[in-house]
Amino acid sequence: MKKLVKNGQLEFINGGWVSNDEACPSFEEVIMNMMTGHEFLWRNFGVLPKHAWHADAFGHSAATVELFSQMGFETISFARIDDLEKNKRKDEKTLEFIWRPTYEGINGP
């Protein structure tokens, strides 16, 4: 596996120890999960993931996206989006977008 990673034939996505709970995570839980997984990948393979992926069946929290952005992920792919939002984006051909979460009192009203 180390040779495949070194040759660019295998890439780790996300890199958390487990897929964290996005329904009601605390910042600390998300951070500790990612730190544990990333430390393992760095120690054993000398790499850190650039891309995140979450297939959470119950939706996604703005907290996760904000934290992943601050962790240096270049992209995040996720599975669930509101049907109205998805259909509108499909019609407008805007399925790819930059998600900028806003928190009251921090980034805006």
- Given the residues 21, 56, 82, 83, select the one marked as catalytic: 56
Element housing 53 (H / E): strand 51-54
> How far apart (Å, rounded) are the C-alpha atoms in residues 37 and 35?
6
> How far apart (Å, rounded) are the C-alpha atoms in residues 25 and 60?
10
83: annotated active-site residue = no
Long-range CB contacts (< 8 A, 24+ apart) of 17-22?
A: 19/54, 19/55, 19/56, 20/64, 22/54, 22/56, 22/58, 22/59, 22/60, 22/61, 22/64
Q: Are 68 and 54 in contact (CB under 8 A)?
A: no
Active-site positions read 56
